Amino acid sequence: MKGPLLQRYDALVVERGLHPDAHQREAVKKLQALVDLLAKGRAPAAPLPKVLRAFFWQEQRPRGLYLWGPVGRGKTMLMNLFFDMAPVEKKRRAHFHGFMADVHDRLHRMRRESAGGLADPVTRVAHEIASEASLLCFDEFAVTDIADATILARLFATLFAENVLVVATSNVEPSRLYDGGRNRDLFLPFIALLQERMDVMRLAAPIDYRAQQNCAGEVFFAPADARAQAAMDALFLSLAGAEQGEPAEIEVKQRAIYIPQAAGRVARMSFAEICGRPYSAADYLAIAERFDAVILDDVPVLTPEQRNEARRLIMLVDVLYEAHALLALSAAAEPDYIYDASHGAEAQEYQRTISRLTEMRSRAYLEACVHGSALAGAG
């Protein structure tokens, strides 16, 4: 007999006209097993004293799941299905960039509030998060920032000790996380911890579903010439109802992000202004909260020496995609050729950006964006 998760997956295959996929079905079976174990752990047959409840859960405690594979294979769809059906009262789903931005915000707050200093604020933050959610679901698990890499082992060791279940999707297997990063040897204990506490499964589905979508192309213009400029001007006018916006600032952690043009929930800026400056995921999250549409001008072809700019572009696209925001851009080349690098963590992560940029210019994605308040009048 099929579990409810598998039933919902089969229904989605029919609803969306997807190809039956044996690899996805195997992943759904794994996730269904987790749902079943969570249901057992949540409701023992009879009320038990606290100590016995803890023992019961220790015996029943499921391992987490780390689901990885190439871009566009349906990992996010499966994560959403699992999260919706997981019988857990306190649960949280987040893009990993957003989660780590929240962690750093909490660390900053704790250090500010503790005049005498804290011996181990990372552990304190982990306890705080564990009190809020016993299930954490992460989409696009990736580590590129040394500030994240240095705290992840302590953070997750505490989360796991608090019996927090973690389910994550990623484009890379755990052993390749933070590949080539500075002081990576200090990061290796975190990889060992993930492999100890989570089952690792590769989603080897053969079809990139995003690449199959009908590309409308109305929001991506290459090369960034006079024709592209005119098209971007017309798009801004259509979305914002004005030929130009007014300068605006967004305050993040007592500093300002400068937005050259803002009109309602629509923003316009150049690549140099938003990816050429040392912005972080927290900054891009603030932009996504403030705007429903971002018009990005003059994205160049990036060389391996511009890995920082490439990393920021990757983060910006991830955050806007997760927020279901409209992204229009003019670029020197098509997405496949914007970042001209053959190796390194950013080159690997950029494959996801290619896939997402493809989906974000598809008719289905653009039609979904129209439901946003700023886009209701867009044609």
- pLDDT at site 339: 92
Q: pLDDT of 50-73, one tens digit each? A: 444 444 445 556 889 999 987 767
Question: 170-188, pLDDT tens digit by residue?
Answer: 988 999 888 878 888 889 9
The structural domains of the chain, ordered by start, are 4-202 (3.40.50.300), 213-375 (no CATH)
Question: Taking 70 as the threshold, does the pLDDT of residue 246 lie above it?
Answer: yes
Confidence of residue 204 (pLDDT cuts 50, 70, 90): confident
The two tokens of residue 302 are 């990036």
Mean pLDDT of 164-170: 94
Determine the average pLDDT of the residues in 13-23. 74
Distance of CA 122 to the CA centre of its chain: 22
Query: Can you tell me the mean pLDDT for 295-315?
Result: 94
Burial class from Cβ neighbours inside 10 Å (0-12, 13-18, 19+) for residue 320 reads buried
Quote the mean pLDDT of the chain.
84
d(CA 45, CA 221): 60
SS3 sequence, the chain?
Answer: CCCHHHHHHHHHHHHHCCCCCHHHHHHHHHHHHHHHHHHHHHCCCCCCCHHHHHHHHHHHCCCEEEEECCCCCCHHHHHHHHHHHCCCCCEEEEEHHHHHHHHHHHHHHHHHHCCCCCCCHHHHHHHHHHHHCCEEEEECCCCCCHHHHCCHHHHHHHHHHCCCEEEEEECCCHHHCCCCCCCHHHCHHHHHHHHHHEEEEECCCCCCCHHHCCECCCCEECCCCHHHHHHHHHHHHHHHCCCCCEEEEEEECCEEEEEEEEECCEEEEEHHHHHCCCCCHHHHHHHHHHCCEEEEEEECCECHHHHHHHHHHHHHHHHHHHCCCEEEEEECCCHHHCECCCCCHHHHHHHHHHHHHHHHCEHHHHHHHCCCHHHCCCC
Mean pLDDT, residues 86-92 taken together: 92
pLDDT at 125: 94
